[in-house]
Amino acid sequence: MAERPLSPHLSIWKWGPHMAVSILHRVTGDGMAIVGLFMLLWWLGALASGPEYYAHFSDWMGSPFGYVIMIGLTWAFFNHAASGIRHFVMDAGAGFELDTNRNWSWISMVGAVVLTAAVWAYILLR
């Protein structure tokens, strides 16, 4: 029987930004689904429970912990959207060249941070 080649292992591949973007795309999608759903359900429950409980919810969201959660969800949204656009372009058959792929990976990661900072600067400074 002939020796069949084995699949490349992670130790063979050179780590690059395209791998980080792919992993972050999955993580941010799951994070938005889990944390975002929890926050939505908590908000709806607080809204339905009356002014006292809604004030409790508002206090939590106005605390530093609440800001970390909301800024994290905003970053997850922009990161997932930017890498989703990158994946869409690659599904169309473009952007597979190494330099192009690497550049668009960095652009999607940095763009998510810049867009998150812009949105929160607008929210906090208006």
Domain residue limits, the chain = 17-125
Q: What is the overall mean pLDDT for the chain?
A: 92
CATH number of 17-125, picked from 3.30.420.40, 1.20.1300.10, 1.10.10.10, 1.10.1760.20: 1.20.1300.10
pTM of the model: 0.86
pLDDT for residue 108: 96
pLDDT for residue 3: 75
DSSP 29-61: HHHIIIIIHHHHHHHHHHHHH-HHHHHHHHHHH
User: Residue with structure tokens 């709806």?
Assistant: 44
Q: Which positions make up the binding site?
A: 80
pLDDT tens track for 41-97? 999 999 999 999 999 999 999 999 999 999 999 999 999 999 999 999 999 989 889
pLDDT for residue 39: 97
Q: Which positions make up the binding site for heme?
A: 80
